[in-house]
Structure 1
Amino acid sequence: MACPGLLPALVALTCFVGVVVSQTTLAPAVTDTTLFDNVTEVTSPPVTSPPVTFISTTPSCSAFNVSMCELCAPGSQYDNNTLLCSCCSDPGLCVFPGACLPCNRGFYQPLAGQQQCLPCNQGFYTNFTGSPLCHSCLPGSFNNNTGRDSCTSCSAGFFSSLQSATSCTPCALGSFCNSTGCSECQTCPAGREALQTAAKDCTPCRPGMHKAAHQTMCQICGSGFFQIRWGQESCDMCPEDHYCPSPDVNPIKCPSDAFCPEGSLAPGYCMETFFRKAGDTCELAPVTIALLVIGGGVALLFIVVLVVRRRRDVDGELTMARAPLLGKERPQGRYYGLPCDAEPVYAGW
C-alpha cells in the first residue's frame, strides 16, 4: 500500500523532470490509473514493463511521451477545456480517450482527431451521442432545420415521397391523406371527391352527380339520366313512360296524351287539333284529313286555271304577231305598166 505522503513527492518529481501540468488538470490527471502507473515507475524499483521516457533538460509538455497520445475517435471532438490533451502536440490528440467529448444529438463527426462536431443538414438527423454520421429522414417525414435529433412526421393532408425531405407537400385535388406520416396521397374512391387541396378525407357526390374510380371530381348526370342518392359511381337512365327534367329528382310519370321513350328529358306531344295519339304513334285527326282534301282540290283547281290562262296568253301573243302581215295595204303605183289595183289579165297561148 502507498504511503500517505507519496502524492506530494510524486508531484514534485514530475515538475522536476519537466512535465508541466496546470492546476486545473491536476485532479483528472492523477485520477487515471495509467498516469499513476507511469509516475510510479520513476520512483519504484525496475519492473519488467519498460518505463516511460522523460526528458529532464527541457521543462515543457513536449517532454511527455507523445506516443501515448491517441486521436479523438470519429463521433467525438477535442475537449478544449480538458488539459489531459495539453501535453500532446496535435489538438486532436489526447492522452486519454476519455478526454474527447462525444458529439451531441443532432451533431456528427466522420473523421478522427477533429476539434469540433458538425450539425446534421436539413433532411437529416442523429438521435444518439457520438455519431459518426447522420441519417436521412424517411418518406412521410421532414426536417427543415440543421442539428436536429429527429424528423417530424407530415401532418394529415400532406405527404413526402422522398427521403431527406425538408418539407411536406399538400395532397392535390381529388386525393387525401387521413393520417400523419403519409408517403403518398390516395385517390378518392368511386362516388367520393376532395374539393380542396390538403384534404384529410373525401366527401360523397351529391344527388344528380356521379364519379367513377378513375375520375378526380364528381360529374353531373347527362340529359335523360338521373341519380337521387349520395355517393354514387354512375347515373341511371330515365325509364320508359317517364321523363327526367333534372338529374337530381325522381323520374316523372309521362302524361297520357304524350310520348316518353327511355331517356326522355321532357314529354313529347302530338300537334293539337291536327294530330292525335294512337298507341305509340301520332295519327291525323279528321279535321286534318278534311282540310287536306279541301286544300288539295283548291290547289288542283288553281293549277287548271293557271294552265288555261297561260294558253290564252300564248294564243293572244301569236295573233298580235300575225296582224301586221295580214292587214298591210299596198301602196299606189304601177307594176309592169298596170295600176296596182287593176285586175290581172292572163294571156293565153
Structure 2
Amino acid sequence: MVALGLLLASHSASLAVLQASAAPSLEIMGQELDLNPVNAIKSMPSQMGSALRKFQTGMGGIRRNWQEADAINKRVKRGGAPASYQEVTLLRKKSEDNMKLLQAGFVYLAAPELATAVLYFSPKMLPSTFEGEEGRLNRWRQLSRLRSTAVVQLLWALDDEAVRKGRRGLRGAERVERARQLLLARSPLRAARVVEDYTRPVSSSQQVAKKPLDGIPKPLLVAACRMIGIKFAPLPSMRRQALHKHLQNLIDEDAALARTDWASLSHSELMDACLDRGLGGLGDSDKELRELLRGWRELTDEARFVSEAVPPDAARLRLAALAVCAVGSCRREKAKLPSVLYSP
C-alpha cells in the first residue's frame, strides 16, 4: 500500500520532468501536468501532496469496499436478498481493485523507473477508488472514442479481407455482406437478426461450452476488445480471455439489473452500465441512458428464442448485441463528423 502511494507521488512529480520536450502540458489521470522543467520542479511539492491525498482517499475507498463486500457475501450466504446491480458491481470492482493494487505495488518495487511510463500507457492499472470525478469523465470519453475507432477499423478489416484471393476472400465477401445488412438495418432487433447465426454455440460439448468465443472471427474479437478498453494483449489468448470475462460479467449484471429498481441507479452507474454494453455517451441524460438499457434488455432476452431447437449462447448473444449497440451509438454521436459518416 505504501508502495502504491509512492508510485502515485513519483508519477505526478517525475512525468512532467521526463517529458519536458513533448508538449507544454499534459493531461493524465484527470490532472494537468506542466511539462516545462522549471515549472515542473516548482510544482513538485503541491503535486506530491495532491497525489498523497488521492492515495489516502483511494485506500479509504478500498477499505470501505472490502467491508461492504464482506457484508453482502455474508447476507447472500445466509439466504438473504440476492445482490442488487450496485452490489454485484461492487463485488466485481473489489476483486479487480485487489489485483490492480498488487500490480501497481509490484511495478513500483520491481522497476520504479518504469512506474511513470506504465501509468501513462495503462491508467486503468490503478484501482477504481483512485479514479476521481475528472478521471471518470476522461475514462468515459476514452471509451467513446475507442468505440468509434473499433467500428471503423472493423469495417476496414472486413473490406481488406474481402479482396483477398481464394477461400479467405470468399469468406471476407460473405462477412462484408453481413456487415452491410447490419448497417442498413433500421432497428436494433433487425440488426440483431443479421448476426444471430454467430450467437449459436459451435458445439454442445462441455469443453466448447467453457470457450464460447471459439470460432468468432478475429476482426470481431479485436474490435470488441477495443470497445471495452483492451487495446493491446501480449498473447491472442489473453484478448479472448479478457473479452470472455467481460461478457460473463454482463450476464451476471444483466440478471442483477432485472431485479433492481433502475430509478435507484446514479448517473455514474448508468453511464458505466451503458458503456460496458457499447451504449451511451457524454451528455446523455439519465432518462436516455435508461431507455438505452431497455433496448439492450430486449436484444439479450433469451425468451425470443424459446421456440428454437438450438438456443443462443448467452455470451455470444451479448457479443452480437454489443456489435449492434456500437453501430447505433456511433450514429448517435454528439460529434458531427462521426454521425455523418455512419448515416446510411
> Normalised by the size of structure 2, how large is the TM-score?
0.14
Specify which structure has the higher proportion of strand. Answer: 1
* Higher RCO (C-alpha under 8 Å, 6+ residues apart): 2
Higher radius of gyration, 1 or 2: 1
Specify which structure has the higher proportion of helix. Answer: 2
